[in-house]
């Protein structure tokens, strides 16, 4: 049996940090030690920030985004185009698109993709609320910004079927060569998709 | 433990931050799962999509372990199929049917048929005919095969027009006429060989036929729901008839 070198409180902190994506037991130990060393400047404020987040974070009842208010900041922003909704799989995708800052639109977060292997069906996703949102009117375009995977595209086709007859324009993201991508290193599928979706130069 | 085989990817799920659990239909080892280390990398993700044909090396310490796959692409079909709703639905339906089979149980004919269907998924009507034959084959492999070779009542080989919902055997038009309301229609293209193609009604009847026996022998006893993607494929097929008029009958390899 190995000897304990720290108290149970620190051990618990390390165990919890190790569950954070990107951290393993070793890096969690480093992070915990750093927090303990910077107790006043980092550990204290972090504890308060995490407590506040725990108390206030909620899921937006309109779009499924996470924020500290319901409806979320994006849904209540009057400068955003209400007639365009970007459908994303996850909040991380929403944040990625917001970092790009290419569209000033509203969002709808599905909460995953249809995945028979994981047992995720249409009822487990935020699809019903999307259909209701579009049916209420005022939406001209729905951009399906789901991943270019078979599961992502199955979800996109399923949503398109559900919205059939509601008179909304449905678009999807282009598939092709990424910025900085060298053709020699791209897979055949991406190359053929890029060639099919070529544009006039 | 180690083997090498050819496989067609039918599904995957995330495992940890960098790996994937891959589900493949292999030629000699049936439906098989395995971990792909680094499967969520940018280089590997396009390869590990459903529908792709891959060369697999499976390694594990013991046979009952899940084991690890080493994957090399042979034919990358997924990107070609992503844009077509019918193709994607058909692909997911094929995967759902294969999941009805026990793992690691070899089904060579299903692997061969799967490869042929994936090559034809671009054309919804050709895919529909092949999918219906695949469903008949799956029923057969599960032990609930239909006997469409001759009439159950008279032994006749001609004009087989119905299937008995009780026995799953074909019935000729003449013998089945008095009970036609209780029998399931048997489309001619299922018994006439590869030369005849099915029209909209024939395909509709064919899917109703296989759907009936799947429900009775598989879904109901196992407490399962039919895959939603099958209904999605049938809707996409209906749309294909509406959007593009039927083409000239042509030869189709079955």
Domain count, chain A: 2
Return the pLDDT at B83.
83
pLDDT value at position A160? 94
Task: Specify if A2 maps to a domain.
Answer: no
- The partner residue sitting opposite A21, judged by closest CB among B17, B51, B236, is B17
Q: Residue B246: which pLDDT band, with cuts at 50, 70 and 90? A: low
Residues of the domain holding B115: 83-148+186-253
Mean pLDDT of A94-109: 94
The whole-angstrom separation of Cα B171 and Cα B160 is: 6
Is the model more confident about A61 or about B153? A61
Q: By CA distance, what is A157's nearest residue in B?
A: B85
Roughly what angle, to the nearest 10 degrees, separates helices B85-98 and B124-141? 10
Give how far B200 is from chain A: nearest CA, Å: 20
- Across B182-205, average pLDDT: 84
pLDDT at position B142 over 60: yes
Q: Is the confidence at residue A143, as pLDDT, over 60?
A: yes
Complex ipTM value: 0.83
Closest Cβ opposite residue A161 in set B49, B83, B232: B232
Would A179 be classed as within a structural domain? no
Minimal-distance CA residue of chain A relative to B235 = A161
Q: Decide if B17 touches A, using CB distance below 8 A.
A: yes
- Interchain contact B154–A (C-beta under 8 A): no
* Contact yes or no for A187 and B13 at CB 8 A: no
Q: What is the mean pLDDT of residues A125-138?
A: 94
> Which chain A residues contact residue B85 at CB under 8 A?
157, 160-161
Residues B8 and B122 in one domain: no
Interface with B, mutate which of A25, A92, A150 (most B CBs under 10 A):
A150
Residues A100, A70 share a domain:
yes
Q: Judge whether residue B192 has pLDDT over 50.
A: yes
Q: What is the mean pLDDT of residues A185-199?
A: 86
CA-atom Rg of chain A in angstroms: 22
Residue A191 lies in a domain: no
CA distance A79 to chain B (A): 33
Residues A140 and A76 placed together within one structural domain of the fold = yes
pLDDT class of A179 with cuts at 50, 70, 90: confident
Q: Which of B60, B76, B92 represents a domain boundary (last residue)? A: B76
Residue A194 burial (CB count, 10 A): 18
Please indicate if any CB of chain A lies within 8 Å of the CB of B240: no
Domain CATH code at residue A31: 1.10.8.420
Contact A177, A186 (CB under 8 A): yes
Instruction: Mark which of B19, B54, B76 sits at the end of a domain.
Output: B76
Contact B82/A148, CB-based, under 8 Å?
Answer: yes
B226 touches chain A (CB under 8 A): no
| Whether residues B139 and B204 fall in one domain | yes
Q: What is the mean pLDDT of residues A49-73?
A: 94
Q: What is the pLDDT of residue B249?
A: 47
* Rounded-to-integer distance, Cα B4 and Cα A149, Å: 26
Which domain covers residue A95, as residue numbers?
A: 66-172
**Residue A68: predicted pLDDT:** 94
Q: Taking all residues of chain A, what is their mean pLDDT, rounded to a whole number? A: 92
Residue A1: pLDDT over 60: no
Looking at the domain assignment, is residue A82 inside a domain?
yes
Of the pLDDT bands very low, low, confident and very high (cuts 50, 70, 90), residue A169 is: very high
Residue B137 has pLDDT above 60, yes or no: yes
**Alpha-carbon span B207 to B219, nearest angstrom:** 15
Percent of chain A at pLDDT above 90?
A: 73
CA distance to partner chain B, nearest, from residue A71 (Å): 31
- Does residue A180 belong to any structural domain of this protein? no
CATH classification of the domain holding B9: 2.40.50.140
Q: Based on the fold, state whether residues A165 and A141 are members of the same structural domain.
A: yes
Q: Looking at the structure, do residues A73 and A20 belong to the same domain, yes or no?
A: no
In a domain, A189, yes or no: no
A120 falls within a domain: yes
Query: Is B49 in contact with A149 (Cβ distance < 8 A)?
Result: yes
Q: With beta carbons less than 8 A apart as the criterion, state whether B170 and B186 touch.
A: yes
Residue B128 sits in the same domain as residue B67: no
As a residue count, chain B comes to 254
Structure confidence by residue, pLDDT tens digits, B43-59: 899 999 999 999 999 99
Using the predicted structure, report yes or no on whether residue B250 has a pLDDT greater than 60.
no
Look at residue B168 and tell me whether its pLDDT is greater than 50.
yes
Instruction: Tell whether A99 and A137 lie within a shared domain.
Output: yes
Contact yes or no for B73 and A187 at CB 8 A: yes
**pLDDT at B254 exceeding the cut of 60:** no
Residue among A21, A117, A153 minimizing CB distance to B82: A153
Choose among B23, B76, B96: nearest Cβ to A187. Answer: B76
- Write down the pLDDT at residue B152: 84
Q: What residues contact B115, with CB distance under 8 A and at least 6 apart?
A: B8, B53
- Inform me whether the pLDDT recorded for A129 exceeds 50: yes
pLDDT for res B253: 43
User: Quick check: is A200 in a domain?
Assistant: no
Residue, of B196 and A19, whose pLDDT is higher: A19
Which chain A residue shows the shortest CA-CA distance from B14? Answer: A118
Interface contact A22, partner B, CB < 8 A: yes
CB B54 within 8 A of CB B6: yes
How high is the pLDDT of residue B74?
A: 94
Q: Are residues B203 and B243 in the same domain?
A: yes
Q: Are residues B194 and B238 in the same domain?
A: yes
Q: Which of B76, B110, B136 finishes a domain?
A: B76
């Amino acid at each position: 049996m190995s000897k304990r070198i720290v108290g149970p409180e620190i051990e618990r902190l390390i165990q919890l940090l190790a569950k954070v994506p990107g951290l393993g037991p070793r890096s969690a130990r480093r992070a915990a030690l750093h927090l303990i060393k910077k107790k006043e400047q980092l550990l204290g404020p972090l504890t308060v920030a995490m407590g506040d987040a725990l108390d206030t974070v909620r899921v937006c009842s309109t779009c499924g985004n996470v924020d500290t208010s319901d409806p979320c900041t994006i849904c209540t922003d009057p400068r955003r185009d209400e007639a365009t909704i970007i459908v994303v799989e996850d909040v991380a995708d929403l944040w990625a698109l917001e970092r790009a800052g290419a569209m000033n639109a509203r969002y709808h977060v599905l909460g995953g993709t249809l995945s028979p292997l994981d047992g995720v069906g249409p009822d487990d996703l935020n699809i019903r609320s999307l259909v209701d949102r579009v049916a209420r009117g005022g939406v001209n375009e729905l951009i399906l910004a789901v991943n270019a995977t078979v599961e992502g595209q199955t979800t996109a086709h399923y949503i398109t079927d559900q919205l059939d007859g509601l008179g909304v324009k449905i678009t999807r993201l282009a598939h092709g060569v990424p910025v900085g991508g060298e053709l020699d290193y791209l897979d055949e599928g991406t190359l053929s998709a890029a060639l099919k979706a070529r544009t006039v130069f | 433990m180690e083997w090498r085989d050819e496989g067609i990817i039918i599904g995957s799920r995330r495992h940890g931050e960098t790996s994937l659990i891959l589900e493949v239909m292999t030629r000699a080892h049936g439906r098989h799962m395995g971990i792909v280390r680094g499967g969520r990398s940018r280089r590997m993700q396009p390869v590990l999509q459903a529908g792709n044909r891959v060369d697999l090396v499976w390694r594990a310490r013991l046979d009952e372990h899940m084991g690890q796959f080493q994957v090399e692409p042979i034919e990358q079909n997924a990107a070609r199929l992503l844009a077509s709703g019918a193709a994607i639905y058909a692909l997911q339906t094929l995967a759902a049917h294969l999941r009805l089979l026990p793992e690691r149980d070899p089904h060579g004919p299903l692997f061969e048929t799967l490869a042929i269907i994936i090559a034809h998924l671009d054309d919804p009507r050709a895919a529909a005919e092949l999918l219906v034959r695949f469903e008949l084959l799956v029923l057969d492999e599960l032990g609930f095969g239909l006997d469409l070779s001759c009439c159950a009542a008279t032994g006749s080989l001609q004009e087989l027009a119905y299937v008995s919902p009780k026995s799953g055997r074909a019935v000729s038009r003449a013998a089945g006429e008095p009970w036609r309301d209780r029998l399931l229609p048997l489309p001619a293209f299922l018994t006439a060989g590869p030369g005849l193609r099915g029209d909209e009604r024939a395909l509709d009847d064919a899917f109703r036929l296989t759907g009936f026996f799947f429900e009775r022998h598989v879904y109901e006893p196992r407490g399962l729901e039919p895959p939603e993607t099958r209904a999605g494929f049938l809707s996409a097929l209906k749309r294909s008839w509406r959007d593009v008029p039927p083409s000239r009958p042509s030869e189709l390899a079955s």
